[in-house]
Structure 1
Amino acid sequence: MADPFTGDRIILKDLGFYGYHGVFAEEAKLGQRFFIDLELGADLSAAAESDRLSSGISYADIYDVVKQSFEDRRMKLLEAVANNIIEALFQSFLGINWVILRIRKPEAPIAMVRGEVAIELHRVRK
């Protein structure tokens, strides 16, 4: 079976947001920083050949959808936050065939001196 996560892609990295997602009451009250990395599979040949934004997918529009989805509602699990964002991306951009989304949480409430926790979802348009 061929790997579906191949071909052209749009990459947005280290998108920073402040949010209130998490299981613990302190996370809901105080909030914390989150970072999102995205890879979006789409055929970029029309934009590459035409050099016109109208032939492609606007990075600014992608960011706006991610931001809106991230801030839309508080969730306990990073997996749910990521799934919400992916669903919004598929709904907003018909040209996106697959998404790899990583959410990093550097201040997770666990006893670690250095590092971060993260989840990564890989989804293909149904």
Structure 2
Amino acid sequence: MSATGYHGVFDHEKRDGQEFTIDVTLYTDIQPAAATDDLALTLNYGELAEVVVREIQSGPYDLIETLAERTAAAIFSHYDDAAARLVALDLTVHKPQAPITVPFRDVTITIHRERP
């Protein structure tokens, strides 16, 4: 999921913004949803996308580490009342336009978090 965010340690990053992408892998038991073909028994990834984009657009934060932790916390909070239990997640924040002076493709931070 991608959106413009205003994160970084430099003033121009907070002023001008840049694209951030966040990849999320959710860990849950999908068997009840798969057996019944019922969306209410799984974690709705449409809702996930909205949570992630909202977090990218929040802040600003100096560090992508902060963005990663706050996004993970928001995801767990969003799924607190879901019929399916979110057990854990992997989350990667991509900052492909980071202000680095050498050639690079992407800057990322990846975290694994389990339900608090």
Same fold (TM over 0.5): yes
Contact 2:56-2:67 within 8 A present in 1 as well:
yes
Question: Which residue among 9, 14, 27 is the counterpart of 1:23?
Answer: 9
Give the corresponding residue for 2:109. 119
Question: Distance in 2 between the 1:88 and 1:114 partners?
Answer: 30
Instruction: Give aligned pairs, total.
Output: 112
Matches within 5 A, 1:55-70: 55-70=41-56
Question: CA shift at 1:73, angstroms?
Answer: 1.9
Give the corresponding residue for 1:93. 79
- Which protein has the bigger strand share? 1
Question: CA shift at 1:104, angstroms?
Answer: 0.8
Give the corresponding residue for 1:53. 39
Give the corresponding residue for 1:33. 19
Deviations 1:70-97 (A, max 9, x none): 2222111001001001001111113111
Residue ranges of structure 2 left out of the alignment (5+ in a row): none
Residue ranges of structure 1 left out of the alignment (5+ in a row): 1-14
- The letter of the residue matching 1:97 is V
Q: Normalization by structure 1: what TM-score?
A: 0.84
Displaced runs of 4+ in structure 1, greater than 6 A?
Answer: none
Question: Distance in 1 between the 2:112 and 2:57 partners?
Answer: 21
Give the corresponding residue for 1:106. 96
Q: Normalization by structure 2: what TM-score?
A: 0.91
Structure scoring higher RCO (CA < 8 A, sep ≥ 6) equals: 2
Equivalent residue of 1:72, what SS? coil
Contact 2:6-2:59 within 8 A present in 1 as well:
no
Query: Sequence identity of aligned pairs in percent?
Result: 33
C-alpha RMSD of the superposition = 1.1
